[in-house]
Amino acid sequence: MDFSNTFFWTFAYDFIRGPMVWIAFIVFFGGTIFQIFSLLSLTKKQTISKLTPGPGRFIPKRADGEDKKDWVMWLKLSIAGVNPFMTIVSTTFHVLLIIMPIFVLGHNILLDNSFGLSIISLPEGVSDFLTIIVILCAAIFLYRRLFVDRVRAITTWSDYLFLFLAAAPFVTGFFAYHQVFENYRLIISLHILSGELMLMAVPFTKFVHMIYLVIFRFTIVSEYSLGRGNRTW
Amino acid sequence: MKTIKQIGLVFICVIFATGLYAFSEDIDLGGENTRGSVMFPHEFHMGEFDCMECHHDMQDGENVLDEYDLEEDNPNILCGACHNPKEKIERMEAFHDQCVGCHNEYKMTSDPTGPTMCGECHILKK
Protein backbone atom coordinates (compact mmCIF):
# COMPACT_ATOMS: atom_id res chain seq x y z
CA MET A 1 0.00 0.00 0.00
CA ASP A 2 1.31 3.39 -0.94
CA PHE A 3 1.35 5.27 2.32
CA SER A 4 1.40 8.72 0.74
CA ASN A 5 -1.91 8.17 -1.05
CA THR A 6 -4.14 6.79 1.67
CA PHE A 7 -7.12 8.89 2.59
CA PHE A 8 -6.08 9.35 6.18
CA TRP A 9 -2.67 10.55 5.17
CA THR A 10 -3.86 13.17 2.68
CA PHE A 11 -6.42 14.35 5.22
CA ALA A 12 -3.81 14.58 7.96
CA TYR A 13 -1.46 16.44 5.65
CA ASP A 14 -4.10 19.01 4.74
CA PHE A 15 -5.27 19.33 8.33
CA ILE A 16 -1.77 19.89 9.67
CA ARG A 17 -0.95 22.60 7.16
CA GLY A 18 -4.44 24.13 7.25
CA PRO A 19 -6.81 24.41 10.23
CA MET A 20 -4.23 23.11 12.68
CA VAL A 21 -2.04 26.17 12.05
CA TRP A 22 -4.93 28.42 13.08
CA ILE A 23 -5.69 26.30 16.13
CA ALA A 24 -2.04 26.45 17.17
CA PHE A 25 -1.85 30.23 16.82
CA ILE A 26 -5.15 30.79 18.65
CA VAL A 27 -4.08 28.52 21.52
CA PHE A 28 -0.65 30.18 21.64
CA PHE A 29 -1.83 33.79 21.64
CA GLY A 30 -4.94 33.12 23.74
CA GLY A 31 -2.91 31.17 26.27
CA THR A 32 -0.22 33.84 26.36
CA ILE A 33 -2.76 36.58 27.15
CA PHE A 34 -4.35 34.34 29.79
CA GLN A 35 -1.00 33.65 31.43
CA ILE A 36 -0.02 37.32 31.47
CA PHE A 37 -3.24 38.25 33.23
CA SER A 38 -3.12 35.31 35.62
CA LEU A 39 0.42 36.14 36.72
CA LEU A 40 -0.46 39.79 37.16
CA SER A 41 -3.54 38.86 39.19
CA LEU A 42 -1.40 36.73 41.51
CA THR A 43 0.74 39.74 42.31
CA LYS A 44 -0.14 43.16 43.58
CA LYS A 45 1.35 46.60 43.23
CA GLN A 46 3.59 47.71 46.04
CA THR A 47 4.88 51.09 46.96
CA ILE A 48 8.63 51.19 46.85
CA SER A 49 10.42 53.61 49.10
CA LYS A 50 13.88 52.26 48.46
CA LEU A 51 14.72 49.32 46.27
CA THR A 52 17.51 47.13 47.62
CA PRO A 53 19.17 45.35 44.75
CA GLY A 54 19.39 41.58 44.90
CA PRO A 55 22.66 39.65 44.54
CA GLY A 56 22.43 39.80 40.77
CA ARG A 57 22.32 43.58 40.80
CA PHE A 58 24.89 44.11 43.51
CA ILE A 59 28.10 45.57 42.10
CA PRO A 60 31.10 45.04 44.41
CA LYS A 61 33.63 47.77 45.24
CA ARG A 62 37.22 47.52 44.05
CA ALA A 63 39.48 45.68 46.50
CA ASP A 64 42.37 48.14 46.18
CA GLY A 65 40.56 50.71 48.27
CA GLU A 66 39.57 52.96 45.41
CA ASP A 67 35.94 53.98 45.53
CA LYS A 68 35.03 52.43 42.18
CA LYS A 69 32.74 49.67 41.12
CA ASP A 70 34.53 46.45 40.24
CA TRP A 71 32.77 45.35 37.07
CA VAL A 72 35.23 42.49 36.46
CA MET A 73 34.41 41.01 39.84
CA TRP A 74 30.72 41.58 39.16
CA LEU A 75 30.99 39.58 35.93
CA LYS A 76 32.97 36.81 37.62
CA LEU A 77 30.34 36.47 40.33
CA SER A 78 27.47 36.40 37.84
CA ILE A 79 26.11 33.24 36.23
CA ALA A 80 27.95 34.21 33.04
CA GLY A 81 31.20 34.42 35.00
CA VAL A 82 30.72 31.17 36.88
CA ASN A 83 29.64 29.16 33.85
CA PRO A 84 30.52 31.08 30.67
CA PHE A 85 30.24 28.13 28.30
CA MET A 86 26.69 27.23 29.25
CA THR A 87 25.74 30.91 29.27
CA ILE A 88 26.84 31.23 25.65
CA VAL A 89 25.20 27.95 24.61
CA SER A 90 21.96 28.71 26.39
CA THR A 91 21.71 32.31 25.20
CA THR A 92 22.47 31.34 21.61
CA PHE A 93 19.90 28.58 21.74
CA HIS A 94 17.15 30.76 23.19
CA VAL A 95 17.75 33.76 20.94
CA LEU A 96 17.94 31.68 17.76
CA LEU A 97 14.96 29.55 18.79
CA ILE A 98 12.74 32.62 18.77
CA ILE A 99 14.31 34.89 16.16
CA MET A 100 15.45 32.44 13.51
CA PRO A 101 12.14 30.86 12.43
CA ILE A 102 10.69 34.31 11.76
CA PHE A 103 13.34 35.04 9.15
CA VAL A 104 13.49 31.72 7.31
CA LEU A 105 12.82 32.26 3.61
CA GLY A 106 10.39 29.35 3.26
CA HIS A 107 8.21 30.62 6.10
CA ASN A 108 8.11 34.11 4.68
CA ILE A 109 7.19 32.96 1.19
CA LEU A 110 4.27 31.02 2.64
CA LEU A 111 3.26 34.09 4.67
CA ASP A 112 3.55 36.28 1.59
CA ASN A 113 1.46 33.89 -0.50
CA SER A 114 -1.21 33.58 2.17
CA PHE A 115 -1.54 37.12 3.50
CA GLY A 116 0.65 39.28 1.26
CA LEU A 117 2.83 39.86 4.29
CA SER A 118 6.35 40.25 3.03
CA ILE A 119 9.13 40.41 5.60
CA ILE A 120 12.88 40.37 5.28
CA SER A 121 14.48 36.93 5.13
CA LEU A 122 17.86 35.49 5.94
CA PRO A 123 19.87 34.00 3.08
CA GLU A 124 19.21 30.28 2.85
CA GLY A 125 22.80 29.36 3.71
CA VAL A 126 22.70 31.47 6.87
CA SER A 127 19.43 29.91 8.06
CA ASP A 128 20.91 26.50 7.38
CA PHE A 129 24.00 27.32 9.45
CA LEU A 130 21.96 28.78 12.31
CA THR A 131 19.74 25.68 12.31
CA ILE A 132 22.80 23.51 12.81
CA ILE A 133 23.85 25.79 15.69
CA VAL A 134 20.44 25.35 17.38
CA ILE A 135 20.59 21.57 16.94
CA LEU A 136 24.13 21.52 18.37
CA CYS A 137 23.02 23.56 21.39
CA ALA A 138 20.14 21.12 21.94
CA ALA A 139 22.61 18.25 21.67
CA ILE A 140 24.75 19.87 24.38
CA PHE A 141 21.68 20.15 26.62
CA LEU A 142 20.90 16.50 26.00
CA TYR A 143 24.48 15.50 26.74
CA ARG A 144 24.37 17.36 30.05
CA ARG A 145 21.08 15.76 31.05
CA LEU A 146 22.45 12.33 30.22
CA PHE A 147 26.04 12.47 31.42
CA VAL A 148 26.60 15.33 33.88
CA ASP A 149 25.77 13.97 37.32
CA ARG A 150 24.39 17.10 38.94
CA VAL A 151 22.18 17.82 35.93
CA ARG A 152 21.00 14.24 35.64
CA ALA A 153 20.06 14.25 39.30
CA ILE A 154 17.37 16.88 38.71
CA THR A 155 16.24 15.57 35.31
CA THR A 156 12.86 13.92 34.90
CA TRP A 157 11.34 12.35 31.81
CA SER A 158 9.45 15.53 31.05
CA ASP A 159 12.74 17.42 30.65
CA TYR A 160 13.67 15.08 27.82
CA LEU A 161 10.22 15.46 26.32
CA PHE A 162 10.40 19.25 26.27
CA LEU A 163 13.94 19.30 24.98
CA PHE A 164 12.78 16.98 22.22
CA LEU A 165 9.77 19.18 21.54
CA ALA A 166 11.93 22.29 21.29
CA ALA A 167 14.50 20.69 19.02
CA ALA A 168 12.09 18.73 16.80
CA PRO A 169 11.01 21.64 14.54
CA PHE A 170 14.66 22.41 13.82
CA VAL A 171 15.73 18.83 13.20
CA THR A 172 12.77 18.10 10.93
CA GLY A 173 13.21 21.49 9.22
CA PHE A 174 16.82 20.64 8.54
CA PHE A 175 15.87 17.24 7.12
CA ALA A 176 13.10 18.76 5.02
CA TYR A 177 15.33 21.48 3.61
CA HIS A 178 18.02 19.01 2.61
CA GLN A 179 15.43 16.44 1.54
CA VAL A 180 17.29 13.76 3.39
CA PHE A 181 14.42 11.31 3.30
CA GLU A 182 12.58 10.13 0.24
CA ASN A 183 9.15 10.96 1.67
CA TYR A 184 9.25 14.76 1.73
CA ARG A 185 5.59 15.08 2.66
CA LEU A 186 6.05 13.07 5.83
CA ILE A 187 9.01 15.15 6.97
CA ILE A 188 7.44 18.50 6.17
CA SER A 189 4.25 17.40 7.94
CA LEU A 190 6.24 16.39 11.00
CA HIS A 191 8.03 19.74 10.78
CA ILE A 192 4.79 21.70 10.77
CA LEU A 193 3.18 19.47 13.40
CA SER A 194 6.12 19.72 15.79
CA GLY A 195 6.13 23.51 15.41
CA GLU A 196 2.43 23.65 16.17
CA LEU A 197 2.75 21.36 19.20
CA MET A 198 5.60 23.49 20.50
CA LEU A 199 3.60 26.70 20.04
CA MET A 200 0.56 25.23 21.78
CA ALA A 201 2.73 23.94 24.63
CA VAL A 202 4.21 27.39 25.34
CA PRO A 203 1.46 28.86 27.56
CA PHE A 204 0.54 25.67 29.43
CA THR A 205 3.77 23.79 30.15
CA LYS A 206 7.22 24.64 31.46
CA PHE A 207 7.74 26.47 28.16
CA VAL A 208 5.73 29.20 29.87
CA HIS A 209 9.09 30.63 30.97
CA MET A 210 9.09 32.25 27.53
CA ILE A 211 6.18 34.45 28.65
CA TYR A 212 6.95 34.64 32.36
CA LEU A 213 10.54 35.68 31.82
CA VAL A 214 9.49 38.93 30.24
CA ILE A 215 6.81 39.97 32.72
CA PHE A 216 8.59 38.54 35.73
CA ARG A 217 11.87 40.30 35.10
CA PHE A 218 10.29 43.64 34.36
CA THR A 219 7.40 43.83 36.82
CA ILE A 220 8.20 41.75 39.89
CA VAL A 221 10.89 42.49 42.42
CA SER A 222 13.50 39.79 42.65
CA GLU A 223 17.23 39.39 42.64
CA TYR A 224 17.28 39.24 38.85
CA SER A 225 14.65 41.84 38.03
CA LEU A 226 15.45 44.27 35.28
CA GLY A 227 14.47 47.83 35.97
CA ARG A 228 12.22 48.78 38.87
CA GLY A 229 9.91 45.96 39.74
CA ASN A 230 6.80 47.56 41.15
CA ARG A 231 4.83 44.40 41.87
CA THR A 232 5.23 41.74 44.50
CA TRP A 233 3.66 38.43 45.52
CA MET B 1 -13.54 7.12 -44.98
CA LYS B 2 -11.86 9.42 -47.47
CA THR B 3 -13.67 12.49 -46.18
CA ILE B 4 -12.70 11.71 -42.60
CA LYS B 5 -9.05 11.50 -43.67
CA GLN B 6 -9.38 14.79 -45.53
CA ILE B 7 -10.95 16.50 -42.55
CA GLY B 8 -8.24 15.08 -40.37
CA LEU B 9 -5.54 16.35 -42.72
CA VAL B 10 -7.07 19.79 -42.76
CA PHE B 11 -7.13 19.80 -38.99
CA ILE B 12 -3.49 18.77 -38.78
CA CYS B 13 -2.53 21.48 -41.29
CA VAL B 14 -4.47 24.11 -39.42
CA ILE B 15 -3.01 23.11 -36.08
CA PHE B 16 0.58 23.05 -37.30
CA ALA B 17 0.22 26.18 -39.39
CA THR B 18 -0.95 28.17 -36.42
CA GLY B 19 1.55 26.63 -34.07
CA LEU B 20 -1.18 25.35 -31.78
CA TYR B 21 0.43 22.06 -31.04
CA ALA B 22 1.28 20.43 -27.80
CA PHE B 23 4.50 21.50 -26.18
CA SER B 24 5.07 18.27 -24.45
CA GLU B 25 8.25 18.44 -22.43
CA ASP B 26 8.82 19.12 -18.77
CA ILE B 27 9.91 22.73 -18.52
CA ASP B 28 12.69 23.74 -16.15
CA LEU B 29 11.26 26.77 -14.39
CA GLY B 30 14.47 27.24 -12.44
CA GLY B 31 14.68 27.85 -8.74
CA GLU B 32 16.61 30.05 -6.40
CA ASN B 33 20.23 29.12 -5.89
CA THR B 34 19.90 26.71 -2.99
CA ARG B 35 16.49 25.25 -3.73
CA GLY B 36 16.16 22.64 -6.44
CA SER B 37 14.95 23.48 -9.93
CA VAL B 38 11.24 23.03 -10.57
CA MET B 39 10.48 20.69 -13.45
CA PHE B 40 7.04 21.71 -14.63
CA PRO B 41 5.12 18.91 -16.39
CA HIS B 42 3.52 20.99 -19.13
CA GLU B 43 1.96 18.15 -21.04
CA PHE B 44 0.33 16.81 -17.90
CA HIS B 45 -1.40 20.14 -17.38
CA MET B 46 -2.37 20.49 -21.06
CA GLY B 47 -4.56 17.44 -20.81
CA GLU B 48 -6.64 18.96 -18.03
CA PHE B 49 -6.75 22.67 -18.73
CA ASP B 50 -7.39 25.15 -21.46
CA CYS B 51 -4.19 27.01 -22.48
CA MET B 52 -5.65 30.37 -21.54
CA GLU B 53 -6.37 29.26 -17.99
CA CYS B 54 -2.66 29.67 -17.27
CA HIS B 55 -1.18 31.66 -20.16
CA HIS B 56 -2.23 35.25 -19.79
CA ASP B 57 -1.52 38.83 -20.68
CA MET B 58 -3.51 40.76 -18.12
CA GLN B 59 -4.63 44.24 -18.99
CA ASP B 60 -7.20 45.95 -16.80
CA GLY B 61 -8.04 42.65 -15.18
CA GLU B 62 -8.73 40.95 -18.46
CA ASN B 63 -6.75 38.29 -20.26
CA VAL B 64 -6.05 39.81 -23.67
CA LEU B 65 -3.54 37.18 -24.81
CA ASP B 66 -4.07 35.92 -28.33
CA GLU B 67 -4.09 32.13 -28.20
CA TYR B 68 -2.36 32.02 -31.57
CA ASP B 69 0.72 33.69 -30.05
CA LEU B 70 1.37 30.54 -28.03
CA GLU B 71 4.17 29.23 -30.22
CA GLU B 72 7.09 27.36 -28.82
CA ASP B 73 9.73 29.66 -30.31
CA ASN B 74 7.97 32.90 -29.40
CA PRO B 75 10.10 34.46 -26.64
CA ASN B 76 7.28 36.81 -25.64
CA ILE B 77 5.13 33.99 -24.31
CA LEU B 78 7.66 32.98 -21.68
CA CYS B 79 6.50 33.87 -18.18
CA GLY B 80 9.70 35.82 -17.51
CA ALA B 81 9.04 38.05 -20.51
CA CYS B 82 6.60 40.06 -18.43
CA HIS B 83 7.27 38.83 -14.90
CA ASN B 84 10.73 40.35 -14.54
CA PRO B 85 12.24 41.90 -11.41
CA LYS B 86 10.99 45.35 -12.44
CA GLU B 87 7.37 44.28 -12.43
CA LYS B 88 5.04 44.24 -9.45
CA ILE B 89 4.73 40.47 -9.64
CA GLU B 90 8.19 39.21 -10.40
CA ARG B 91 8.96 35.77 -11.75
CA MET B 92 9.28 33.76 -8.54
CA GLU B 93 6.16 35.31 -7.07
CA ALA B 94 4.26 34.68 -10.29
CA PHE B 95 5.14 31.00 -10.24
CA HIS B 96 4.35 30.64 -6.54
CA ASP B 97 1.01 32.42 -6.94
CA GLN B 98 -0.06 30.57 -10.03
CA CYS B 99 1.17 27.06 -9.24
CA VAL B 100 0.55 26.86 -5.49
CA GLY B 101 -2.53 29.07 -5.73
CA CYS B 102 -4.20 26.75 -8.22
CA HIS B 103 -3.11 23.62 -6.35
CA ASN B 104 -4.58 25.05 -3.17
CA GLU B 105 -7.85 25.90 -4.91
CA TYR B 106 -8.18 22.32 -6.05
CA LYS B 107 -7.65 21.16 -2.45
CA MET B 108 -11.16 22.39 -1.82
CA THR B 109 -12.61 20.12 -4.48
CA SER B 110 -12.73 16.38 -4.79
CA ASP B 111 -10.48 16.55 -7.84
CA PRO B 112 -6.86 15.51 -7.52
CA THR B 113 -4.41 18.36 -7.12
CA GLY B 114 -0.73 19.16 -7.21
CA PRO B 115 1.97 19.80 -4.64
CA THR B 116 1.87 22.79 -2.29
CA MET B 117 4.92 22.56 -0.02
CA CYS B 118 8.38 23.84 -1.00
CA GLY B 119 10.24 20.58 -1.49
CA GLU B 120 7.49 18.88 -3.42
CA CYS B 121 8.31 21.04 -6.47
CA HIS B 122 11.85 22.15 -5.64
CA ILE B 123 13.39 18.72 -5.70
CA LEU B 124 17.09 18.62 -4.95
CA LYS B 125 19.29 16.66 -7.29
CA LYS B 126 20.88 13.81 -5.44
In whole angstroms, give the CA distance from residue A130 to residue B84: 31
Domains of chain A: 3-48+94-232 (1.20.950)
Mean pLDDT of the A144-167 span = 95
Read off the pLDDT of each residue in A21-37 and give the average, rounded to a whole number. 95
> By the CB < 8 Å criterion, does A106 face chain B?
yes
Kindly report the nearest CA distance between residue A130 and chain B, in angstroms: 16
Residues in chain B: 126
Query: In this predicted model, which residue has the larger pLDDT, B12 or A149?
Result: A149
Pairwise CA distance, residues B117 & B101, whole Å: 11
Q: What is the residue range of B75's domain?
A: 23-121
| ipTM, 2 dp | 0.75
Number of domains, chain B = 1
Say how far apart CA A71 and CA A66 lie, in whole Å.
13
Q: Do the Cβ atoms of A176 and B119 come within 8 Å? A: yes
In a domain, B96, yes or no: yes
Report the gap between the CA of A198 and the closest CA in chain B (Å): 21
B44 located within any domain: yes
A-chain CB neighbours of B124 within 8 Å are 178-179
Residue A227, chain B, CB below 8 Å: the answer is no
- Residue A107 sits at the chain B interface (C-beta within 8 Å): no
Task: Tell whether B62 is covered by a domain.
Answer: yes
pTM for the full predicted model: 0.83
Q: Report how far residue B65's alpha carbon sits from residue A162's, in angstroms, rounded to the nearest whole number.
A: 56
Q: Establish if B54 belongs to a structural domain.
A: yes
pLDDT bucket at A1, cuts 50 / 70 / 90: very low
pLDDT in tens, chain B (126 residues): 566 676 666 555 555 544 445 566 777 777 766 688 888 888 888 888 888 888 988 888 888 888 887 887 788 888 888 888 888 888 888 899 899 999 988 887 878 888 888 888 998 887
Subunit contact A188:B123, Cβ cutoff 8 A:
no
Q: Judge whether B83 and B99 are in contact, CB under 8 Å.
A: no
Terminal-to-terminal C-alpha distance of chain A: 60
Give the pLDDT confidence score for residue B23 in this predicted structure: 63
CATH code: domain of residue B53: 3.90.10.10
- CB–CB of B117 and A177 under 8 A? no
* B66 within some domain: yes
- Give A67-94 pLDDT, tens digit per residue: 788 888 888 888 888 999 999 999 999 9
